[in-house]
Structure 1
Amino acid sequence: MAKRDAPELDRELAELPPELRWREWMRRVEAVLFASASPVPREDLARVVGQGASVELLVEDLAVDLEGRSFEVAKVGDGWVLRTRVAYAPAIRAAADLGDPVTDLKEFDVAVLAAIAYHQPITRDGLKDIFGKEISRELIGRLHARELIAPGPRAPRRGAPYTFVTTEAFLAHFGLESLRDLPDREGLSDAGLTDEG
């Protein structure tokens, strides 16, 4: 069966009055965010709206349009995602098959992930210094397979060790726009959630 050519997308929608044109662009942005498994950057959203349209304003209007609904637009890294509001997490856990790649991580795995987030780029030796023991290649492999970490920059010398950094999937899973949104380490320590003094 021959593949049919997709019709060209009318980005400008010149035949629509301005108000309807804006609403259609907003719905296109919503559809792209809904269908995407990862954060969608501005450049990709700009491909479905008119040349003079502000993607940022469209996303803002979509966020307002979704107020009072069970999901919201969230900024993650350099892009946006649609995600369920935190208030509905218990209902989702009670009834939905999440297939979440992070839920089967052990407590130590999550601690290593947090150490990478706070100290990135970090080497396995750097992690060993933090935890007082060698971090297994299997653990690093699990975090990498789930796309929560990725290789980071290496020193420009021969034999320099590999480093690790967190990814946009990490940000999305933990509901962060950027690493600046991580909880303050001093506050975590004061709350007794870390071993740091």
Structure 2
Amino acid sequence: MVEAARKRRGRPEEDALFDRELDHLPPEARWREWMHRVEATIFAASEPVGRETLAKIVGKSCSIDHLIDDIREELRGRPYDLVAVAGGWKHLTRPAYADAIRAAVGGGEQPTDLTQSEVLVLMCIAYFQPITRGELSSFFGKEVSRDLIGHLRGAKLIASGPRSPTPGAPYTYVTTKEFLLEFGLETLRDLPDFEALEDAGLLSKEKLLAGDIPAGLGSVEDEIEEQADVVGDRDEQE
């Protein structure tokens, strides 16, 4: 514990010794070093790295967005990219190489296995959060079980949100960072547009509220999952 306290006390001093600005370097070399720092940090991290973290390793005048753009430009011909996901950036291989990776080393982390009903409930939470289990049950005209909610929570796709102002103050449910990671979304704003799904015949709000599962439900899930592919190879199609 004493050692931990000593390390905590030493951090400000260590931070002061870390040269963020690199004023001794010419502008081009300084920019290149910042690029290397940012790429190395993202590469080493197991989770998406946010803007606030990256700002600690570059100069105050440095534009993180421009830096990321330059790194991505250099990675344009590589089989991996820096992808904006779950509020940060992460190194991800391009979808075109998924089959080769699976053939060589297997599938790695498997996508969460959800039933059709769980996908539908998850979709409702994503679009209408924060929402209570009672409100979800009203949407479908039948009870949404605690077991179903528990499975989505166990998969870390949803979490408890603020208590509802309705009688009894039940907990609401919201999607999580893991939900964004699972479907390759940077923020909830990247969810497929609800009205566009209706126009495409993939989802009917009336049927959804009535509790009828639309015939195109599987396509809705595919539409959400395809966000990861769009993020991964959008530059290749430009």
Q: Is the shorter-chain TM-score for this pair beyond 0.5, marking a shared fold?
A: yes
Residue 47 of structure 1 aligns to a residue in which SS?
coil
| Residue 85 of structure 1, aligned match among 86, 91, 94 | 94
**1:1-197 to 2 correspondences below 5 Å:** 8-95=17-104, 96-100=106-110, 102-156=111-165, 159-196=168-205
Aligned residues: 195
Tell me: CA distance 1:125–1:74, structure 2 relative to 1, closer, same or farther (3 Å). Answer: same
Shift of 1:123: 0.8
Shift of 1:93: 4.1
Q: Which amino acid aligns with 1:82?
A: H
Larger radius of gyration: 2
- Please list every run of at least 4 consecutive aligned residues from structure 1 whose deviation after the TM superposition is greater than 6 angstroms: 2-7
Tell me: CA distance 1:157–1:113, structure 2 relative to 1, closer, same or farther (3 Å). Answer: closer
Residue 48 of structure 1 aligns to a residue in which SS?
coil
Tell me: CA distance 1:110–1:79, structure 2 relative to 1, closer, same or farther (3 Å). Answer: same
Hey, which of these two has a bigger chunk of helix by percent? 2
- What is the rounded CA distance, in whole Å, between the counterparts of 1:51 and 1:187 in structure 2? 41
Residue 189 of structure 1 aligns to a residue in which SS?
helix
Percent identity over paired residues: 54
Q: Which amino acid aligns with 2:161?
A: G
Is the Cα–Cα contact under 8 Å of residues 76 and 168 in structure 1 kept in the other structure?
A: no
Q: Which amino acid aligns with 2:97?
A: Y
Per mean C-alpha deviation after superposition, the further-off stretch among 85-94 and 128-137 is: 85-94
Tell me: CA distance 1:181–1:17, structure 2 relative to 1, closer, same or farther (3 Å). Answer: same
Q: Which amino acid aligns with 2:157?
A: L
Tell me: CA distance 1:137–1:92, structure 2 relative to 1, closer, same or farther (3 Å). Answer: farther
Tell me: CA distance 1:90–1:136, structure 2 relative to 1, closer, same or farther (3 Å). Answer: farther
Gaps of 5+ in 2: 207-238
Is the Cα–Cα contact under 8 Å of residues 118 and 148 in structure 2 kept in the other structure?
A: yes
TM-score, length basis structure 2 = 0.69
Q: Which amino acid aligns with 1:97?
A: G
Per mean C-alpha deviation after superposition, the further-off stretch among 11-20 and 87-96 is: 87-96
Is the Cα–Cα contact under 8 Å of residues 162 and 172 in structure 2 kept in the other structure?
A: yes
- What is the rounded CA distance, in whole Å, between the counterparts of 2:165 and 2:139 in structure 1? 24
Is the Cα–Cα contact under 8 Å of residues 81 and 92 in structure 2 kept in the other structure?
A: yes
Gaps of 5+ in 1: none
Residue 80 of structure 1 aligns to a residue in which SS?
strand
Residue 153 of structure 1 aligns to a residue in which SS?
strand
Q: Deviations over 1:10-59 (max 9, x none)?
A: 32233433222211211211122222233322111111112322222211
